[in-house]
Amino acid sequence: METLLDRLLGRIDRAEFRRSHLGRAPLHVKGPPDLVAGLMSWDGMSRLMSMTGIWTPDTLQVVMDCKMVPPSEYCGPGPSASGGEAQRPDPAKVQALIRRGASVVLNGLETLTPEIRALCNALREMTGGWVQANLYFSMRERQAFAPHFDAHDVYAVHCSGEKTWQVFEGSEDAPVHAPAFTFGAQEMVRRAGRPVATYDLAPGDLLYIPRGRYHDALASANGAIHIAFGVTMPKALDLLSSVLWRHIVMNPEFRADLPVRPDATALAGALARIGDSFATMLGRDDVRAAVAALLRDFPMPTQGYDIAALIAQDVRFEVAPGIRLAAKDGRTLLGKDKTWVEVPAGLERPIAWVLGRTEVTEAALGAAFSAMSRDQVRELVGNLRSMNVLR
């Protein structure tokens, strides 16, 4: 089935994008405005921001002329989920800043609408990476962010207004979130170098920017909205803090004391032993299986709820394990261990049917034994629940 991602890519299919564009160079694909009509609009953004109880200074940020506005200037006390008090963005203060030209960033939208969730899942399927969705709202000629790079691939989907993006010649080599890749504003401008491409984005457009590539953007009309879908791929660094760490701490070589003030020979020997132990660990079948499982499960899908479908279904009851039927003195008994009750005549087969399953519903039981009335089915289920046969 064709998804919004496929339509955004236009004539480039997913395989061609992975083969020819992923991780290589920026890509701008023009699209018709109606392509993103259901993804985000000014009204849709207003509805999201009006859910004031879900936003915090971390998830709703305000930016003015390339500087983050301190939360104290746009937040105030509000109720927390635990009944206490928490700092929440104040709609009046945020809107006053927007009137002055401020930009707004809404972080972590990947679960907040069905349309965004579906696009996140399509990107996960195509790339195998973890996806985060952040919305950027800008006013005309007021820049939110100076030239910068991201530690993930960026898929910018333009939803409203117009914005001009610049891509620069500079690029960081496989950056991650670490102090080594934290630079001041002037240093980033220096490292960005000169602009080498300009893209004018309108609703329906997709702009792909590889990880580490310097870029900036400036709205050319009030109310520009784009959603940046950031795709993060698994890295060897992730293995060190998860799968491998559990094995490293169990290896005596990694727990051994290192020589204090060693000479060159002692240091070389210690490092060689550590390297050999690490190589041996990586060659073990159980370690490789754990790494393979991490990579296989890395792009966990963003799931949603379907309450209407649940309502349409019958309630499912779990069948307690270990309970069985037994015959004694011409009677049929139900129970386990030392607790047994006699089964009324005529219910042996329905109860045996229930015990042969891990879960049951009233509808399934009634369908299997059509001679039982609806009230009889409900009475049997209620009795089995009272005896903790069903739970």
Quick one: 152 and 281 in the same domain?
Answer: no
Report yes or no on 291 lying in a domain.
yes
Identify the residue whose tokens are 């401020």.
Answer: 102
- Over range 15-22, report the average pLDDT: 93
Report yes or no on 165 lying in a domain.
yes
Quick one: 240 and 224 in the same domain?
Answer: no
Which of 212, 232, 252 terminates a domain? The answer is 232
pLDDT for 309: 85
Burial bucket for residue 74 (CB in 10 Å: 0-12, 13-18, 19+): buried
- Over range 224-239, report the average pLDDT: 93
Report yes or no on 218 lying in a domain.
yes
Quick one: 226 and 134 in the same domain?
Answer: yes
Identify the residue whose tokens are 């009851």.
Answer: 317
- Taking 90 as the threshold, does the pLDDT of residue 36 lie above it? yes
Residue 136 sits in a domain whose CATH number is 2.60.120.650
Quick one: 124 and 76 in the same domain?
Answer: yes
- Using alpha carbons, select from 296, 303, 300, 310 the residue that is nearest to residue 118: 303
Quick one: 141 and 208 in the same domain?
Answer: yes
Quick one: 94 and 197 in the same domain?
Answer: yes
- Taking 80 as the threshold, does the pLDDT of residue 302 lie above it? no
Report yes or no on 88 lying in a domain.
yes
Quick one: 30 and 176 in the same domain?
Answer: yes
Quick one: 280 and 143 in the same domain?
Answer: no
Report yes or no on 379 lying in a domain.
yes
169/220: higher pLDDT: 169
Quick one: 46 and 137 in the same domain?
Answer: yes
Per-residue confidence band for 305, with pLDDT thresholds at 50, 70 and 90: confident
Which of 232, 261, 285 terminates a domain? The answer is 232
- Taking 80 as the threshold, does the pLDDT of residue 301 lie above it? no
Q: Which residues pair with 229 in a beta bridge?
A: 133, 155
pTM above 0.85, yes or no: no
Per-residue confidence band for 142, with pLDDT thresholds at 50, 70 and 90: confident
Which of 184, 207, 232 terminates a domain? The answer is 232
243-271 pLDDT per residue, tens: 889 889 988 888 988 888 889 998 999 89
Question: Chain-wide mean pLDDT for the chain?
Answer: 92
Quick one: 208 and 254 in the same domain?
Answer: no
59-72 pLDDT per residue, tens: 999 999 889 999 99
Query: Which of the residue ranges 136-145, 307-316, 379-388 has the most confident prediction, judged by mean pLDDT?
Result: 379-388
- Using alpha carbons, select from 205, 210, 150 the residue that is nearest to residue 20: 210
Q: Which residues pair with 319 in a beta bridge?
A: 390
- Over range 149-161, report the average pLDDT: 97
- Taking 90 as the threshold, does the pLDDT of residue 325 lie above it? yes
Per-residue confidence band for 368, with pLDDT thresholds at 50, 70 and 90: very high
Report yes or no on 205 lying in a domain.
yes
Quick one: 205 and 240 in the same domain?
Answer: no
Taking the mean position of all CA atoms in its chain, how far away is CA 227? 15
- Over range 31-42, report the average pLDDT: 94
What is the number of domains present in the chain? 3
- Over range 320-346, report the average pLDDT: 91
Evaluate whether 291 touches 283 at the Cβ level (below 8 Å). no
Quick one: 38 and 147 in the same domain?
Answer: yes
Q: What is d(CA 15, CA 131) in angstroms, rounded to the nearest whole number?
A: 19
Report yes or no on 391 lying in a domain.
no
Structural domain of 103: 4-232
Report yes or no on 81 lying in a domain.
yes
Question: What is the widest separation between alpha-carbon atoms in the chain?
Answer: 94
Q: Where are the alpha helices (H) located in 10-131, listed in sequence order?
A: 14-20, 42-49, 91-99, 114-127
